Chains A and B, each alone.
Chain A
Amino acid sequence: MTRQVTFRIIALAATLLAGSSAAQAQETIFYSTQLRPIEEASKVRDVLLKGIPGKVTYVVDEPSPFAVRLKAETQAGKRTISVVGALHGELQPHVPGDLQPIDDVVAKVANRGIPASLMDLGKLGTAQQQYIPWMQATYVMVANKQALPFLPAGADVNTLTYAQLQQWAKNIVDRTGQRRLGFPAGPTGLMPRFFQGYFYPSFTGGVVSTFKSADAEAGWNAMKELWAVSSPNSTNYNFMQEPLLAGEVWIAWDHIARVKEALTLQPDQFVAFPAPAGPKGRGYMPVIAGLAIPKDAPDRAGAVAVIEHMTKPETQLLTATEVGFFPVVKADLPPNLAPGIKLLAGAVAATQGAKDALVSLLPVGLGAKGGEFNKVYSDTFQRIVLRNEPVKTVLADQANVLATLMKDTGAPCWAPDKPSQGPCPVN
């Protein structure tokens, strides 16, 4: 009797196992660090991946477990993932260990109209294509309309300077007693990107080579003044949409995906506009997500089909309307965008079209040291602004760390730093 039951259980388990492995053979696993929130992930599953031949399973993960899983699968010699979607900087540590070159896919998506400069970023500093650009985003400023009456005389949000931003926040402090300017300087906030893509280019015209220049010193002093009128809770903020929606912060800088909820929930309450300009221009940084194929992908054909499908102009437009990431291909955004997304699109267009725009490209060639590159900027910020250490000493110290990092990785300069022979020098 018991034996029969046991046999039945074993038989059942065997069927289940066989069934699941058979199912695995047919499905293409699409593993992504992007579009993680449940609403966005369902959009990907139900809308964006519709019409693809074969079964695609969209799996999302945080960047850190993503990196661990890709590496672990390589070490174990057992790959389950066929195609990955992640940010430029998140894919970088996996070259050449975990990703396969996909030069053949470039030919297949040649007619999509992906700009050559974007496509080149996908080589990640190597001779071969490592990822195909998937979607792009950038960072913008968002302000509550309550803050607008405090704008300094003559200032226009679309052509704001850092000095005006400081004055604006100061006016709010003076007249309301509250520090309402906010930065995402929390543990998972994107503050290092502010320094790399916005603050440094705007104040020094470079990111690495000008790290400890006199311009940088002046910039950090300006940053201290800016911080004095910023919300003291900024070091707790990770996504600015939360304090914006709570009314705790009136003016904020963040990634468009991290302010989107505020804009889509209350499009009438907020305005979106470009980041401010400094003495050297209006620094800004694009965010590129790419699609790549891991080494020994179990279903390479399925992976290529996913890449082809996701880069189609119609899918790209759908991506913009459904999840608010912008196309990497030439495609005009439809007029029926949701009001919140429209605000974002307007701010992005104003940033890119600004006369003094100064684009800061994504770092290439840092390999696995991307996290430590960010750390140089967060540590500098912590020491100068939060701990009030002397600017010159800190910059000299951190410049040594940065120089070692550049030497170890051999990463050449990227825009807006001037091109270098060999590792990017820290002057």
Chain B
Amino acid sequence: MPARTSWIPYALIAPSVAFLGALFLVPLVQTIWLSFATADGLTLANYERMTGDLNFSLAVRNTFLLTLVVVPIQVALALAMATMVSKLEKGRDLALWILTIPLGISDLAAGLAWLALLQNTGYLNSALYALGLISGPVGWLSQETPWSLFAAIVLAEIWRATAIVLVILIAGLQLIPKEFAEAAEIFGAKPWTRFRKITLPLLKPSLQSALILRTVLAFEVFAVVYALGGRNFPVLAGEAYTWQNENQNYGVAAAYAVLIMGISLAATAVYLRVLKTRPEQLP
């Protein structure tokens, strides 16, 4: 009997494996190939073009800066929100539903929404003007105001993508048995100690998933940056897009894509190592 069922899981998983193979692995190999292929055979010319470009170091710096600022804030916020939501007795679903609204919005739409708020003739300037704080439109997103542009992008990214971390952490919190916290309370542990010694360690697997997901996505950040800052704030994915669409040099665009993939893989490997959870530590 077991022999007969053993092929069933494979058959069931085959379509998705074939799907990913055809639409993910094949293009991946093609992209890597494209990044090395030049008129003189396989060379590093595209990578040299990429690193020699005037926006390259800026794009690397901006992408890392954005990731380093956005991801920790999002995790901290999501942790706080998740703890609060899980304490709610009534209206928990409603609160969760409202907090996750941004998840349903595409990142470009989110970028455009923030653009409507922050552009010269946007709601922020209108409000400040009505309050008498400014005398005319103030530019927040121009190339001459890099810090307010950066702040705007950080704000939009936090607004847009904190919810995904929240959802993962809430799922993780629900897995933690209440008995641990109750036992600790009996022994006199204060809320902060309980959070640090019980919740956080037991949440590690969920934190790991959330961090991997958010960091990989943060390295790929594009639409929000593009909507708010155009090319005033170069990021890696944006440069890949520019090389593909404006400069029509598919080789350099592929080199950028491979670089982003390399960085994402490295970040994932780091998280897997640093946040490794032994089976006995699982709730």
Contact = CB atoms under 8 A, between A and B. Distances in A.
B136 interface: yes
Contact of A236 (B135, B141, B246): B141
A357 interface: no
- In the complex, the 7 A-B pairs of residues with the closest C-beta atoms, listed nearest first: A371-B248, A232-B142, A371-B247, A64-B245, A232-B144, A187-B230, A235-B143
A372 B247 contact: yes
Interface residues of A, number: 27
B209 interface: no
B231 A187 contact: yes
Interface residues of B, number: 24
Contacts of B248: 64, 67, 93, 368, 370-372
B230 A386 contact: no
Interface string A172-189: 000001100000001110
9 contacts: A64-B245, A233-B141, A235-B232, A236-B141, A247-B121, A371-B248, A374-B247, A375-B246, A383-B54
Contacts of A186: 230-231
Contacts of B135: 177
Contacts of B139: 232-233
Interface in A44-96: 63-64, 67, 93
Contacts, number: 61
A65 to B, nearest CB: 9
Contacts of A235: 142-143, 230-232
Given A232-B142, A232-B143, A233-B120, 5 more contacts: A64-B245, A64-B248, A178-B137, A235-B232, A238-B230
B54 A187 contact: no
Interface of B: 54, 120-121, 135-137, 139, 141-145, 226, 229-232, 242, 244-249
A65 B97 CA distance: 38
B136 A178 contact: yes
The interface residues of chain B, by DSSP majority, are classed as: loop
A51 B230 CA distance: 43
Contacts of A370: 248
A87 B249 CA distance: 19
Interface string A247-275: 11000000000000000000000000000
Nearest to B143: A235
A354 B64 CA distance: 52
A111 B29 CA distance: 52
A382 interface: yes
Contacts of B244: 64
A5 interface: no
B249 A371 contact: yes
B141 A187 contact: no
B246 A187 contact: yes
Contacts of A301: none
A382 B54 contact: yes
Contacts of B245: 63-64
A370 B247 CA distance: 8
A64 B246 CA distance: 8
B255 to A, nearest CB: 15
Given A248-B120, A371-B247, A375-B247, A233 B231 contact: no
A269 to B, nearest CB: 16
Interface in A353-391: 368, 370-372, 374-375, 379, 382-383, 386
A285 to B, nearest CB: 18
Nearest to A235: B143
A265 to B, nearest CB: 17
Contacts of A38: none
A248 B231 CA distance: 20
A246 interface: yes
Nearest to A192: B246
Contacts of A236: 141-142, 229-230, 232
A313 to B, nearest CB: 35
A186 B230 CA distance: 6
Nearest to A401: B52
Q: Which of B54, B135, B136 has the most CB of A within 10 A?
A: B54
A235 B229 CA distance: 9
B236 to A, nearest CB: 15
Q: Which interface residue of A64, A178, A235, A382 has the most chain B CB atoms within 10 A?
A: A235
